[in-house]
């Protein structure tokens, strides 16, 4: 289980044609990768923000909020994946395949977005652009069947 999750995370680091295979990833791989992202962002936020609040409760509530909003971002990314695959191949990926791919391709951009927000909130748009690039670039390498 951990081996597949590590492979999932490793293949999602760079937007390549190999990343297209992540659409068939098992449930535990992309959910554990989402959990790793949530914990990473929560710890990063805790270090940067240094809240004056009961720390176990802050970590729990913040992790819950990060996971909730990250799943919303993944849902929007999965819809973008479906839109691009429909436009590119005339056949839309089912949502059950678009979701794992969207999780994989949004891990690095989400962490980058959070870091950019902490460093310079006005540069957060670059994180959104990076997310768009990570999601769309591998989809442009989907082989298209020629009908003659």
CA angle 99–105–109, rounded 5-degree value: 130
Confidence band for 148, pLDDT divided at 50, 70 and 90: low
Does any domain span residue 113? yes
98-137 pLDDT, tens digit per residue, is 999 999 999 999 999 999 999 999 989 999 999 999 999 9
Does any domain span residue 127? yes
40-54 pLDDT, tens digit per residue, is 999 999 999 998 989
Does any domain span residue 146? no
> Which secondary-structure segment (H or E) carries 140?
none
Rounded Cα distance, 83 and 21, in Å? 18
Enclosing domain of residue 135: 1-141
Does any domain span residue 133? yes
* 117: region left, alpha or beta (phi > 0 left; psi from -120 to 50 alpha): alpha
Q: What's the predicted TM-score (pTM) here?
A: 0.88
CA distances from 146 to 31, 85, 123 (A): 36, 15, 42
């Amino acid at each position: 289980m951990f081996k597949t999750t590590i492979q999932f995370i490793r293949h999602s680091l760079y937007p390549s044609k190999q990343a297209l295979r992540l659409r068939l990833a098992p449930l535990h791989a992309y959910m554990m990768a989402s959990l790793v992202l949530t914990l990473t962002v929560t710890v990063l936020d805790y270090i940067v923000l240094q809240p004056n609040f009961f720390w176990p409760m802050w970590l729990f509530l913040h992790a819950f909020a990060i996971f909730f909003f990250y799943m919303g971002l993944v849902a929007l990314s999965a819809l973008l994946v479906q839109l691009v695959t429909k436009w590119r191949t005339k056949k839309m990926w089912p949502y059950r395949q678009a979701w794992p791919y969207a999780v994989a391709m949004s891990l690095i951009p989400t962490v980058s977005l959070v870091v950019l927000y902490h460093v310079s909130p006005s540069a957060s748009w670059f994180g959104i652009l990076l997310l768009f690039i990570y999601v769309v670039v591998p989809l442009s390498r989907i082989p298209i069947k020629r009908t003659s």
